[in-house]
Amino acid sequence: MTSINKQIGSIFLIIGTSLGGGILAIPMILSSFGVVIGCIIMFLMWLLMTYSTLAVAEACLHFESGISYLGLAHKLFKKPGVILVYICAFGILYGMLAAYISAIGSSFESLLDINARLYSQCLY
């Protein structure tokens, strides 16, 4: 039973991370392109994510149960694969952090009714 609880927790952690960053970043970026081009870009992103998810799932079928991205990269691509996984993980974390900071800054600016430039000059 603990294994199922861990799996459910892991699923919700991934969903929360993906949806949180996507809900903040994607509309902010695509709003400048318009509705039609934004929908086309989102469809292409969906195709890319679906393909990459299915590729990872198929690769996982050929290895032991419970293998991680890092373990998968090590077994398939050795050291260059591990380095690429680390770069991608840090890139995703950096991108999500930038999106969250941007959204939180805008929220504080409107909530506290302050000028962001004045606030930055006071702190730095």
Two structure tokens written together for 30? 């695509």
CB-based contact 95:21 (threshold 8 Å): yes
Whether the CB-CB separation of 97 and 90 falls below 8 Å is answered with no
User: Any idea what DSSP says for residue 63?
Assistant: S
DSSP H helical segments within the chain, as ranges?
2-30, 35-61, 69-112, 116-123
Distances (CA, A) of 99 to 20, 50, 89, 103: 10, 23, 15, 6
pLDDT of res. 42: 86
Q: What is the pLDDT of residue 98?
A: 77
- State residue 117's pLDDT score: 63
What per-residue confidence (pLDDT) applies to 37? 93
Q: How far is CA 11 from the centre of its chain?
A: 14
- One digit per residue, pLDDT tens: the chain, 124 residues? 567 777 787 777 777 766 766 666 777 788 889 889 988 998 998 899 899 889 988 988 888 887 888 888 899 899 999 999 899 889 988 887 877 777 677 777 777 776 666 655 555 4
Q: What is the pLDDT of residue 70?
A: 85
Q: Which two tokens stand for residue 71?
A: 């373990």
How many angstroms separate the CA atoms of 43 and 22, rounded? 14
Q: Which residue has the tokens 């930055």?
A: 120
